[in-house]
Amino acid sequence: MPRNKLLVTGGAGFIGANFVHYWTRNYRRDRVVVLDALTYAGNPASLEPLQSLPAFRFVHGDIRDATLVRALLRDERINTIVHFAAESHVDRSIHSPDAFIHTNVLGTCNLLQAAREAWEADREATDFRFHHVSTDEVYGTLSRDDPAFVETSPYDPSSPYAASKAASDHFVRAYRRTYGLPVSISNCSNNYGPYHFPEKLIPLMIVNALSGAKLPVYGDGSNVRDWLFVEDHCRAIDRILRQGTVGETYNIGGGAEISNLDLVRNLCRLLDEAIGASRALQGTYPDCPAARGSSCADLITFVADRPGHDWRYAMDAAKLRNATGFQPDENLVSGLRKTVQWYLANEGWWRPLLDARYAKWVRQNYPDAGRT
C-alpha cells in the first residue's frame, strides 16, 4: 500500500487525538501531520507519546489561516485530510455562537478551498480525499417512537453548534458537486473515552464525583443519547477512508441509546465499585462519597435545562455496515468501564484542565453546577 500523507485538523482534541493514536499504531509508514489551534479544548499532552515518532508532526495553527493551510498541503504533499477541528460544545455555542461560525463554517470553507487548489494542481498524481467529521445533531431531535436518523433525513439543527456543523456539511457537499473534490462525510453520535475534555457529560460526571462535587443533570434527565466508544469512531472513519465511496455520507452510531439520568447512574455504580474496592483510591479521592461508603449517585442534582435541548438522537448505521462491514467493538458496559478506568489512571491528564480560568467560566455560566 502506498504511503499516505494525512493532515489531521483538530488532532489535539478529544476524537482527533484518539484518531492520531489509532492511525500511528495501525499505519506506521504513513505521515501524520496534525494542525491544531490549541483552543481551550486542544491539549498537546494528549499527543505527548507521539512526539518522538519521525512520521508525526504537530503544527500549531488555525484552519482559517489560508497561507498556512496551503503551504502545509503543498510542502507535505498531503493526500488525505481528516477534518476534526471545530468548536464542539453545545452549551458554549448557546452562550457565544461566534467562534462556532468562525471555525466550523469559515474554517471548513477555508480548508475546502485550499484542498481544492491542492487537488487540482496534482489531480493525476494523488489519490486525494477530504473526509469531514460531522455529527448526528445536524438532523435535529427525535421523539420516543421515531425511527433512527438515516443519511437522507432532513437537516433540522437546534443549537448554534449543530447549525454550524450543518452549514459545514453543506459546503463539503457543494465542493463535491461543483468542483468534483473527492470528499466523504461521516455523521456520528455521542463519543466517549480517553482524552475527553471534562466539560462534556461523561468526563464531567467522573471528575466531579471524584472530588465530591455535584453531578448536574439538565432538566429531568430523560433526554436520550446514543453513545459510541471513541476508538470505534476512529475505526469507522478508517473504514470509510479505505472502503467508502467518494461523495457519500455515512451515519455512525453505537446502537447504545440511554437516558442521561440512567447513564449518570451507571457511571456512579462503576465509580462506587472501583473506589469501594481500593484503599489507595479512597486515599486519593477522600471527598468522593464512595470513599466513605456512600454512593456517588447522592451527588446527582437536577439543574435548569439546556435551551433548545434535543430530546433524543439515534443513528441508523446500516449504510456503513453494508458498505464496509463496520460494527462497534465496545458496548456501553465495556466502554464505560474502560473510560472510568482511564480517568482513574490518568489524573495527571485531567487535573490541570480544571484550572482557575476554566473554573471561572463554569461558575459564570453554570452557577447551579456546584463545581469547586
Residues that bind ligand NAD (CB under 6 A): 9-10, 12-16, 35-39, 41-42, 62-64, 84-88, 103, 107, 133, 135, 165, 188, 190-191, 197
Residue 92 lies near ligand TDX (rule: CB under 6 A):
no
Residue 90 lies near ligand TDX (rule: CB under 6 A):
yes
Minimum separation from the CB atom of position 50 to ligand TDX (A): 23
State whether the Cα torsion 172-178-183-186 is positive or negative. positive
Rg (CA), the chain: 20
| Cβ contacts of 126 within 8 Å, gap of 6 or more | 77, 79, 119
C-alpha 13/C-alpha 10 separation (Å) is 6
Tell me which stretch binds ligand TDX (CB under 6 A): 214-222, 317-325, 328-336, 337-345: 214-222
C-alpha 68/C-alpha 91 separation (Å) is 30
The whole-angstrom distance between residue 135's C-alpha and the CA centroid of its chain comes to 9
* Residues constituting the chain: 372
Minimum separation from the CB atom of position 236 to ligand TDX (A): 15
Which lies closer to ligand TDX via its Cβ, residue 179 or residue 311?
311
**Residues 295/289, Cβ–Cβ less than 8 Å:** yes
C-alpha 240/C-alpha 254 separation (Å) is 16
Applying CB under 6 A, among 18, 46, 103, 190 the residue interacting with ligand TDX is 190
Which lies closer to ligand TDX via its Cβ, residue 25 or residue 363?
363
Residue 223 lies near ligand TDX (rule: CB under 6 A):
yes
**Residues 68/61, Cβ–Cβ less than 8 Å:** yes
Residue 166 lies near ligand TDX (rule: CB under 6 A):
no
From the list ligand NAD, ligand TDX, none, which binds 90 (C-beta under 5 to 8 Å, kind-based)? Answer: ligand TDX
The Cα-based distances of 45 to 17, 66, 140, 278 in angstroms read: 10, 27, 34, 27
Which lies closer to ligand NAD via its Cβ, residue 229 or residue 285?
229
Minimum separation from the CB atom of position 223 to ligand TDX (A): 4
Minimum separation from the CB atom of position 21 to ligand NAD (A): 13
The whole-angstrom distance between residue 74's C-alpha and the CA centroid of its chain comes to 28
C-alpha 128/C-alpha 140 separation (Å) is 31
Applying CB under 6 A, among 78, 217, 237, 320 the residue interacting with ligand TDX is 217
Residue 330 lies near ligand TDX (rule: CB under 6 A):
no
**Residues 315/135, Cβ–Cβ less than 8 Å:** no
Tell me which stretch binds ligand TDX (CB under 6 A): 68-76, 84-92, 281-289, 331-339: 84-92
Which lies closer to ligand TDX via its Cβ, residue 89 or residue 269?
89
**Residues 256/314, Cβ–Cβ less than 8 Å:** no
Residues forming contacts to ligand TDX in the complex (CB under 6 A) are 88-90, 135, 137, 190, 200-201, 204, 216-218, 223, 225, 260, 306
